[in-house]
Amino acid sequence: MPFMKAKERARREKVGKASVERHAKNRVLKAAREQADYITVSVGRRVVDLAMLTLNLWCTNCDAALSLKFLEEEKQYGLASEFSGRCPTCLDLKKFFTSKTVPCPSGDGRSLYSVHCKAALGCLDSGVPPSPAAPVARSTPRTTSTPRPSRVRRPTSAPRPSVSPNLLALIDRTWQPNQEPNLLPTTSRLPLRGPSAHVSAAL
């Protein structure tokens, strides 16, 4: 329009650009909602630190709130989970955790989740051995997590009882020295006394 003022032309261009961006955003949100209705990334229950999750459920790029409805992946580490969700406004992929992390005491750069440390301290305080508490972390579903290399430990042989080499155990629970194998033959039995002797003689 040659006779349109410069301000009006700039205003219309700005409105048209905002309309195009709004329609594109609406299409993305509609597709994300439809996908969320058919695909469920995470199911079940989680132990969640609300303060930690509240800080992570916020996009720093566009200053918008995130939602668990737009999850794309979940990695589970025992009682802790690492979620990957996409921001519905800027479509940026964000990661947020359900538990705080603390540095590993070994100093190798790894991190430990505080929920695991609290569970270990609870077992020590209540006197529960680690064997009944271990299945709590192992039974957590891991269907949505990325496969991690499993560290399989080879079964170690049970320690043999320290038995003197001069003695040999027999089936009938009698013992005999190795140096004198004919002292008590394997098929010999001790003489019975009392009522058992009469029953044995009758048989």
Residues 6 or more apart in contact with residue 86 via CB below 8 angstroms: 32, 70, 72, 92, 93, 94
The answer to whether 164 and 148 are in contact (CB under 8 A) is no
Report the C-alpha gap between 189 and 187 in whole angstroms: 7
Side-chain half-sphere exposure of 34, counting CA atoms within 13 A? 6
Tokens 């004919």 correspond to 182
Which pLDDT belongs to residue 97? 87
Which pLDDT belongs to residue 147? 40
Which pLDDT belongs to residue 54? 84
Q: What are the structure tokens assigned to 166, written together?
A: 């001069």
Which pLDDT belongs to residue 201? 47
Report the C-alpha gap between 49 and 65 in whole angstroms: 18
Give the phi and the psi of residue 94 in degrees, each rounded to 5: -120, 155
Is 10 strand, coil or helix? helix
- List the chain domain ranges: 17-138
Which pLDDT belongs to residue 138? 54
Report the C-alpha gap between 184 and 194 in whole angstroms: 22
Per-residue pLDDT of the chain (203 residues; tens, 9 = 90+): 556 678 888 888 888 888 888 877 777 777 666 655 544 566 777 888 888 888 888 888 888 888 888 888 888 888 888 888 888 888 888 888 888 888 877 777 777 888 888 888 888 888 877 665 565 555 444 545 434 444 444 445 555 544 444 444 433 344 344 444 444 444 444 454 555 444 444 44
Which pLDDT belongs to residue 143? 46
Which pLDDT belongs to residue 159? 52
CB atoms within 10 A of CB 33: 12
Report the C-alpha gap between 108 and 38 in whole angstroms: 42
Report the C-alpha gap between 71 and 87 in whole angstroms: 9
Which pLDDT belongs to residue 56? 85
Report the C-alpha gap between 134 and 128 in whole angstroms: 11
